[in-house]
Amino acid sequence: MEAILDKNQLPRHVAIIMDGNGRWAKSRNLPRAEGHRRGALAARAAVEECLALGIAELTLYAFSRENWSRPAEEVNFLFRLLVEFINKELSALETQGVRLMVIGEEEGLPGYARKALTLARERTVGNSRMILNLALNYSGREEIARACRLYMESGAPAAACDCASLTGYLYTAGRPDPDLVIRTSGEKRISNFLLFQTAYSELYFCDTLWPDFSAADLHKALHDYAGRIRRFGGLTKH
Ligand code: FPP
């Protein structure tokens, strides 16, 4: 039987690299699209569970800048799936108190996806129970470069540019860094995800392929996190 999760030891912000949709499909002789479709269901389940646990912020890596190199058919499918997800879930997200936000270069997204995202953001702007961040057309390195550009454009002196001032120009400005980053499918990389914000995040890797990632898998990650001692570069308190 699973031990009870101590609410005081839960992360405030969980970020997930949802990996393994393609392998999930391949192992079942299904098209990759089916892996993504099941991946979207797993994403919905993760949102539900984080909500039930009272986690304040969930960031999902849904489309990286590097994902454009995939076949156009797969890229188109992913954006259609995203819009389908928003259309299907928006009312529920709205009533559940979820605020939808986006990180990444939105200008580069297909028009119909931008439209759906804008509507979802507007409809949920007043919600505060949980923030659901979708990382779309996202690159951590590009986000840092963009923050530097914005800082310079603000007219502030280069000599005054420090980490705190750059933080204000990130997509995540004003919001807490992830406490826990989960990556599924056995890969142990950060893949250009939240490079600035994960400086002191706890990392958790599991072999489960994303479409199979369940509430039980999330609980396992959270138990693991609860057992970590976070030092933020300082000494361990004994
Ligand atoms: C990685 O699996 C997954 C992606 C590149 C896309 C993530 C998208 C979803 C989970 C579905 C849509 C999400 C939402 C929020 C609607 P992969 O294709 O790289 O798998 P592989 O490494 O096994 O090939």
Residue 237 pLDDT more than 80?
no
> 183 in ligand 1 pocket by Cβ < 6 Å?
no
Each residue's pLDDT tens digit, 193-210? 999 999 999 999 999 999
Give me the pLDDT at residue 232, please: 82
DSSP string, 125-150: TT--SEEEEEEEEE-HHHHHHHHHHH
3-state secondary structure of 21: helix
Annotated active-site residue 19? The verdict is yes
Give me the pLDDT at residue 238, please: 55
Each residue's pLDDT tens digit, 91-127? 999 999 999 999 999 999 999 999 999 999 999 999 9
Give me the pLDDT at residue 231, please: 78
Question: Separation of 33 CA from ligand 1 center, angstroms?
Answer: 9
Domain 10-140+177-230 has CATH 3.40.1180.10: yes
Identify whether the C-beta of residue 119 lies closer than 8 Å to the C-beta of residue 94. no
Question: Separation of 133 CA from ligand 1 center, angstroms?
Answer: 16
Q: pTM above 0.85?
A: yes
The span from the CA of 210 to the CA of 36, in Å, is 9
